[in-house]
Amino acid sequence: MKHRMIALLLALLLVGAALTPAAGAAGGEGDEALVEALKGFFAQAEGDYDSVNRSDGGACSLGLLQWHGPRALELLRFALNGWPGTANYLTRSLYREIVGEGTVWSRRTLTEAEARCVSALLGSADGRAAQDELARRDILEYLRLCRSWGMKTDATAAYFAVVVNQFGAGGAKNYLRLIRETLGVGEDAVFTDLNVLHQAVRDTRRCGQPWLPVREKCYAYIASLGWALTDRSGSREQPRTERLPERELSVWRLGAAALALLRRWMALLS
């Protein structure tokens, strides 16, 4: 009897393991792919890891996403806090300014010497790692905002995430309002059809026209990825088929194997 109970317990554990989802298997995988895709776009359209614009509209812009002004300061603090070795690239005075509690970079430009230090920091292995992590965090937030405003497809959310990166959340939301006012067809089409959204951006004359070259690059880049540009249903879910997804098939096979093993053990012990 004791051996039978042990066999039963082992088999149940095996079945449980087969039916338990692997860590990280559920959720977030689609967004991670979007993050990587958008990082690729920003690397083409904005700047490389070590890019430094000393004066971009009155304040510096830095790195992969060209974090601007206060966001540039946030990037450097993020790198210094998480990767302490990055401090070695800065002069003592610049380091103290960056970590100082009262520091504000709304109108902070960089000298040539400061730009060289910052570029070296951002281009180092630690500087790249810091940018990868902050870019991931920021892009996920951009996508969350875009979806909260109504963007229902990966293509439209990714396209407008670039707007959020350039205009900020408040500016992007106002720009979306202007786009929807400009649109001559059902306003919800901007949420489900990238072609409609992009044409509305072209037609919106009250805001954002200097950024049209970037919008054209973004549209072309997203189209090159092979994503569906139009989804009239507004759903990100793929249609279900009769065939089980591969993971469900694997779980079913493992469960069946465990039950077969249990039967063999019970037969041997009887």
Kindly state whether residue 254 falls inside one of the protein's structural domains.
no
Rounded Cα distance, 204 and 178, in Å: 7
136/161 same-domain check? no
59/140 same-domain check? yes
Q: Among 122, 144, 166, where does a domain finish?
A: 144
Kindly state whether residue 266 falls inside one of the protein's structural domains.
no
Task: Give 209 or 139, the one with higher predicted confidence.
Answer: 139
Kindly state whether residue 105 falls inside one of the protein's structural domains.
yes
Give me 64's structure tokens: 């992969």
Task: Give 205 or 166, the one with higher predicted confidence.
Answer: 166
Q: What is the pLDDT of residue 75?
A: 98
Q: Are 131 and 49 in contact (CB under 8 A)?
A: yes
pLDDT digits (tens, 9 = 90+) for 136-186: 999 999 999 999 999 999 999 999 999 999 999 999 999 998 888 877 655
154/217 same-domain check? yes
Rounded Cα distance, 254 and 98, in Å: 55
Rounded Cα distance, 39 and 66, in Å: 12
129/208 same-domain check? no
96/137 same-domain check? yes
Q: What is the pLDDT of residue 181?
A: 81
156/124 same-domain check? no
Q: What is the pLDDT of residue 60?
A: 98
Residue 12 scores a pLDDT above 90 = no
Kindly state whether residue 205 falls inside one of the protein's structural domains.
yes
Kindly state whether residue 85 falls inside one of the protein's structural domains.
yes
Q: Among 103, 125, 144, where does a domain finish?
A: 144
pLDDT digits (tens, 9 = 90+) for 57-114: 999 999 999 999 999 999 999 999 999 999 999 999 999 999 999 999 999 999 999 9
Q: What is the pLDDT of residue 96?
A: 98
Containing structural domain, residue 136: 47-144
Of the candidates 79, 96, 230, the one whose C-alpha atom is nearest the C-alpha of residue 154 is 230
Contacts of 247 (CB under 8 A, 6+ apart): 25
Q: What is the pLDDT of residue 21?
A: 35
178/122 same-domain check? no
112/97 same-domain check? yes
Residue 256 scores a pLDDT above 50 = no
Grade residue 263 by pLDDT with cuts at 50, 70 and 90.
low
Mean pLDDT of 116-124: 98
Q: DSSP for 65-120? A: TTEETHHHHHHHHHHHHH-GGGGGGS-HHHHHHHH-TT---TT----HHHHHHHHH
52/138 same-domain check? yes
Q: Among 144, 162, 179, where does a domain finish?
A: 144
Q: What is the pLDDT of residue 9?
A: 42
Query: CB atoms < 10 A from the CB of 131, how many?
Result: 24
55/135 same-domain check? yes
Structural domain count of the chain:
2
Q: What's the mean per-residue pLDDT of the chain?
A: 80
Kindly state whether residue 221 falls inside one of the protein's structural domains.
yes
Kindly state whether residue 124 falls inside one of the protein's structural domains.
yes
Q: What is the pLDDT of residue 186?
A: 55
Grade residue 264 by pLDDT with cuts at 50, 70 and 90.
low
Residue 77, domain CATH: 3.30.386
Kindly state whether residue 162 falls inside one of the protein's structural domains.
yes
Q: What is the pLDDT of residue 14?
A: 37
65/119 same-domain check? yes
Q: Are 224 and 158 in contact (CB under 8 A)?
A: no
Model confidence, pTM: 0.73
125/195 same-domain check? no
Residue % of the chain over a pLDDT of 90: 59
